[in-house]
Structure 1
Amino acid sequence: MSGERIIYLPLGGAGEIGMNAYVYGYGKPGEERLILVDLGVTFPDMDGTPGVDLILPDISWLKERRNRLDAIFITHAHEDHVGAIGHCWEELGAPVYARAFTAHIARLKMEDAGLSPEIVRTVSPWPETVEVGPFKIGFVPISHSIPESSGLVIDTPKGRVVHSGDFKIDETPVVGEPFDRALWEEVGKPGVKALICDSTNVFSGHAGRSEATVGPEIETLVREATGMVVATTFASNVARVKTLAEAAVRAGRSVCLLGRAMRRMIEASIKTGVLADFPTVVSPEEATQIPRENLMLIVTGSQGERRAASAQLARGKYQGLTMAEGDLFLFSSKTIPGNERGVIQIMNAFSEQGVDVVDDSSGKYHVSGHANRPDLETMHALVNPQLLVPMHGEHRHLREHVKVAGAAGRKGVLAVNGMMMDLSGNEPTVVEYVETGRTYLDGSVKIGALDGIVRDRIRMALNGHVIVTVILDEEDELLGEPWCEIMGLPEMGRNNAPLVDALEEDLSQFIGRAGDKTITDDDKLEEGLRRIARQTTQNEIGKKPEVTVVISRLA
């Protein structure tokens, strides 16, 4: 066994927030049996990834070693941990293990992808374990902002590794299991070689607040509102959705859920037994008949998503329901960095309708699902690992988390995506650097981030597009004049003449001057036409567009 080792390799989620995918392995170098913890997504934006539907981790390294992959374990049902399972499973082929609620969501993902839901296996929480290859894996309940979140105990012949998953220390979480200090002390008792730990809120210096503290504040806000109340939060935050619904009922209001994701999560929670007493809700059709002052809508779209219920209400109407002057809209959520623009657009659209918008700037109406620095320090003390490896955070979060460990006399190591760490010895070592990246789901196909497709799309968005068409006869003589079509460019140039006319004139002159070597060589002719089209457009409107040249020759 002396030649065997424990390895840890993040393929996503270490150096970024989102797209979590962590590989653990045990065995001789290059022959390790492997498991994958989580398989999540991150979301595109119009600036960097226009038109892309989802961003998935690049699992090429793991795909090449799929014969060594024994299982996939999902810690909880957030999209950045389970969202890629349906898109990537066929490339990996290993059984998937999760607790009941998470397994239910994972099965829905499988069905959406046309795969068998039976691939996903439901497991019971710690102390029960799943044995795969050289590993014994236990799902340890931990509090977070979604039901049945779990950390993982990963036992190997060379010691125990603990993967915290996303967590917070919340002993009154409203829905789901409270944080159990004794349980986590028990996890640490046999000795833990490494704790791979959530880093999201490492810069927050105050202790985290419980979900239970939000309810009274929301109830006061809803009770004092005079018009219709609409609230948005993460659909997966079942405890918050329940808190909002109960506040509405206590204020004498009917509750209506809007948005597929919201209804799906509540249905999953009830079906799997994590939610037993959710208030009765009315349908959107029924809601249209209820006086505004007696109605509360709980809607999707807390991050400004264009197709979600919040955005559609901001644009006018959703399922027959509209906002009106004097209504109240509550963001019971934190805006994820990068989503600010979309959220602010919605806020302003509501403001123009006379709607009062309340966000979480006061700190009253939202609490984070991630551990702040004091809670991270508590977790370190409970598990008492030999080594701390931060994950689930941007580089600055991971680096700060290493400093927190060092301040308490613990050994910390910064490992970002692609760094394979050997955790076997007393000192962690980097044993390999693996190329990692992103895969884009673009429509119904997957493309590589470096394939150039999105790059070309961005160039067209920035610079516009010109199509140049020429037809040559059997004698290589031009038939007619070149003609152009423009997209995403102004129709008129600097001299108040049509841009297309200027292009076609300059292209005709170029062909008239071109020698036989250019006219008879498609590559040279295409290169010349593209150059002239770009130069003319630059002169006329100050832009160098993308140019497509179509050359047709009559046989």
Structure 2
Amino acid sequence: MARDRLIYLPLGGAGEIGMNAYVYGYGPEGKERLILVDLGIAFPDMDSTPGVDVILPDISWLLDRLDRVEAVFITHGHEDHVGGVGHLFRKLKTPIHARRFTANLARRKLVEKGQDPNNVITAEAYPAMIDAGPFRVGFLPVSHSIPESAALVIDSPAGRIIHTGDFKIDPSPVVGEPFDADLWAEAAKGGVRALVCDSTNVFSKHEGRSEAEVAPNLKPLVASATGLFVATTFASNVARLRSLAEAGEAAGRSICLMGRAMRRMTEAAVEEGILTDFPRTVSPEEAADIPRENLMLIVTGSQGERRAASAQLSRGKYFGMELKEGDTFLFSSKTIPGNEKDVARIMNNLSEMGVDVVTDADGLYHVSGHANRPDLETVHRLTDPQVVIPMHGEHRHLREHAKLAESLGRVGVVAPNGTMLELSGNAPKVVDHVETGRTYVDGSTLVGQFDGVVRDRIRMALNGLAVVAVMVDDDDEVLEDTWVDLRGLPEVAGNGASLADMMEEHLAGQLARIDTRTAGDDEKLEDLIVKGVRKVAQDEVGKRPEVTVLITRLAAE
């Protein structure tokens, strides 16, 4: 009889920042009952994933064991933790547990995809516990940059795990609960087998700053501005939204929220009673009639998203609003690595308009929602785990966090995506490696990372496309006239001649010399044409384009 074991398996979020999905299991080897913690998304970029809308973790391993999945637990409402719920629930069909604000957001995602919102179950905070097969799970409140965030207390017959989710130690987060060290100590009292811990800011050696430190800096900035004042921040940072709105109100400005995510977050916070005193806002239509010096816009797009309000304002009008010289635009946010080019593009566009751009370069207008190194040390000491498993970070973050754990006398284990750890023995050990990847939301469909769709799109973007039409008669003789149409390639070669004409001429010479056996075989004929087109393109413009060949065969009457 197989012995029972406790396993941990990250499918996303370990070795990267974003797309969080972590599996825990307990039971006989190969028959463990499973729970999933978080189901997030990552965002694409034009270089590596052109045309893709969002990126999901590949949960094929979990779907292959769907009859053993007990539940999904969502730690908080950020997109990299809850964003995949709407896209993947149709496949999972598993109860989803979350605290009320996060549950509100998750239900909205299900409704958007035509799914029943009642599949999301509202959870109470720890010490309340939820039974899920061999597990009992509690939502341990933490402070973060979004309300009602939670770590998870995960009990199994092999011991207790604390999965921190995203957190910081903030005694005064403006909106949401302060970090409660006594409650955390209480949760750790019976012993913690493993602390699975946020690693985002492990390289930041200074103590974390409170959200309450931002508001006093915002008010004089807004009060001193002339013209229209625009601010962008993470839409999910409800505390920052309130601080910005209060700064605008104190300066005598009307407040207008722009961007779907901004409105969705504030609506959810009001519905759940988290925002009870948010300043009155005006609609974009009303804002158009308010003098610029009396108006403040709070907009989406702090990370340079092309379709968000910030980018659209930087390119021209948005909901009738247009920025002008003398206006002020504040980035009350930190640029996530990888988004620097997109954010810089917006800043440069604004600068060309004569808009004064204010950033958080001096640390005045933004604080991180993640624990810095001293905060991580505090949580290590509070929970006193046998093992620390870093997550939510790139590989360098995981490795540095494991070193930190070892410097504090604990075992630190680096387990990137796909690494299955057994935690039930005296020491953690790697027991399997699971193939993990990404699933792309491409329009209205889900596309696998290795399906070739995005790969072909990138190839066309890099090399261009040539479409060749050729006709073959009923005697398998190729007619002399071929037709070439080019996309994403120069119209003329270096010698000034038409590139398409040169390809047609080269193909005409090739096709005039082939035998009927080649002409009668579509595969051979296509291969010859592809090679001919690429040879001309390589010789003349240094490119090897993608080639589509259209063969028309004429039948005898």
TM-score range, shorter chain: over 0.9
Amino acid at match of 1:260: R
**Alpha-carbon separation, structure 2, partners of 1:99 and 1:291:** 41
Structure 2 counterparts to residues 260-271 of structure 1, below 5 A:
260-271=260-271
Give 1:464 shift.
0.4
Give 1:480 shift.
4.8
**What RMSD in Å do the two structures reach over aligned CA positions?**
1.0
**Alpha-carbon separation, structure 1, partners of 2:332 and 2:491:** 46
Q: Which residue of 2 aligns with 1:148?
A: 148
Higher mean C-alpha deviation, range 545-554 or range 365-374: 545-554
Provide the secondary structure at the position in 1 that maps to 2:509.
helix
**Alpha-carbon separation, structure 2, partners of 1:301 and 1:377:** 33
TM-score (norm. length: structure 1): 0.99
Provide the secondary structure at the position in 1 that maps to 2:282.
coil
Q: Which residue of 2 aligns with 1:215?
A: 215
Provide the secondary structure at the position in 2 that maps to 1:263.
helix
**What whole-Å deviation, never above 9, does each CA across 1:79-110 have from its counterpart, x for those lacking one?**
00000111111222210000100000000110
Amino acid at match of 1:122: T
**Alpha-carbon separation, structure 2, partners of 1:390 and 1:278:** 37
**Alpha-carbon separation, structure 2, partners of 1:509 and 1:455:** 33
Structure 2 counterparts to residues 130-529 of structure 1, below 5 A:
130-529=130-529
**What whole-Å deviation, never above 9, does each CA across 1:388-443 have from its counterpart, x for those lacking one?**
00000000000000011111111111111001101112200111111111111111
**Alpha-carbon separation, structure 1, partners of 2:258 and 2:86:** 25
Amino acid at match of 1:134: P
**What whole-Å deviation, never above 9, does each CA across 1:103-148 have from its counterpart, x for those lacking one?**
0000011011111101111111111111010111000110000010
Q: Which residue of 2 aligns with 1:26?
A: 26
**What whole-Å deviation, never above 9, does each CA across 1:492-532 have from its counterpart, x for those lacking one?**
11221111111111111100011233112211111101100
2:477–2:516: 8 Å Cα contact kept in structure 1?
no
Give 1:479 shift.
3.3
Unaligned runs of 5+ in 1: none
Unaligned runs of 5+ in 2: none
Provide the secondary structure at the position in 1 that maps to 2:169.
coil
**Alpha-carbon separation, structure 1, partners of 2:435 and 2:388:** 23
Amino acid at match of 2:298: I
**Alpha-carbon separation, structure 2, partners of 1:13 and 1:477:** 58
2:228–2:328: 8 Å Cα contact kept in structure 1?
yes
**Alpha-carbon separation, structure 2, partners of 1:486 and 1:110:** 43
Q: Which residue of 1 aligns with 2:16?
A: 16
**Alpha-carbon separation, structure 2, partners of 1:207 and 1:389:** 22
Amino acid at match of 1:371: A
**Alpha-carbon separation, structure 2, partners of 1:220 and 1:400:** 39
TM-score (norm. length: structure 2): 0.99
**Alpha-carbon separation, structure 1, partners of 2:22 and 2:376:** 20
**Alpha-carbon separation, structure 1, partners of 2:68 and 2:306:** 41
**Alpha-carbon separation, structure 2, partners of 1:434 and 1:259:** 39
2:472–2:519: 8 Å Cα contact kept in structure 1?
no
**Alpha-carbon separation, structure 1, partners of 2:384 and 2:206:** 22
Provide the secondary structure at the position in 1 that maps to 2:214.
helix
Amino acid at match of 2:281: V
In the alignment of these two chains, the number of paired residues is 555
Among all aligned residue pairs of Structure 1 and Structure 2, give the percentage whose two residues are the same amino acid: 64
**Alpha-carbon separation, structure 1, partners of 2:504 and 2:106:** 56
Amino acid at match of 2:412: G
Provide the secondary structure at the position in 2 that maps to 1:320.
coil
**Alpha-carbon separation, structure 2, partners of 1:89 and 1:47:** 29
**Alpha-carbon separation, structure 2, partners of 1:2 and 1:447:** 37
**Alpha-carbon separation, structure 2, partners of 1:514 and 1:495:** 29
Give 1:2 shift.
9.0
Provide the secondary structure at the position in 1 that maps to 2:382.
helix
Give 1:177 shift.
0.5
**Alpha-carbon separation, structure 2, partners of 1:315 and 1:405:** 47
Q: Does 1:546 align with 2:546?
A: yes
Provide the secondary structure at the position in 2 that maps to 1:360.
coil
4+ aligned runs moved over 3 Å, structure 1: none
Q: Does 1:67 align with 2:70?
A: no
